[in-house]
Structure 1
Amino acid sequence: MSDGEPAELDVVRRLHALTDLVTPMALRTFVSLGLPDHLRDRPGTAAELAQLTSCNARILTGILEHLASREVVRAGPGGRYTLTALGRAACSTPAPSPQSWLVDSLRLGTLTGDVNHSVVALLDVVRSGRTGLEEHHGEPVWSRVARMDLDQTRTLFGHRTPVVEFGPIEKLVRAYAPRTVCDLGAGTGRLARELLTRRLCSHCHVVDLEPMISLADEMLDDIDHRSYSLHEADFMTDPLPAADLYVLCDILADWPDDDAIHLLGVVRKAAGVRPAVLVTQLILPGGAGDLFDPTAGRVRLDIEMARPARTVEEICALGAAAGLRVVSTEAAQHRSAVLLESESATP
Structure 2
Amino acid sequence: IIMSIRKRTSKKAKNGYVYEVYFPYKINGITERYSKSGFKTKKEAQEHEALMLAELKENGSIKKEIKKSLENVYHEFLEVGSAQYQSSTIYSTKKNYHYFEKELGQLPIATIDYSILQKYFNSRSEYGIETNKNIKKTISRILNFAIKVGYIKSNPLNLVTVTGIENHLDHEKVLLYDDFKAIINALDKVDFKRKAYSIAIQIGYYTGLRISEVLALDKSDFDLDNNLIFINKKLLYKDLKKENYTTSNQMKSKTSKAIIPLANPLKHSIIEWFKKNPYEKVICDIDGYYINPNVLSLDVKNLAKNLSISFHFHMLRHTFATNLVNSNVDLKTAQELMRHSNINTTMSIYTHVNDQHKINVINNVFDIKSVEKVSKTNNKIKTLN
When the two structures are superposed, what TM-score results if normalisation uses the length of structure 1?
0.20
Identify, as 1 or 2, the structure richer in helix. 2
Larger radius of gyration: 2
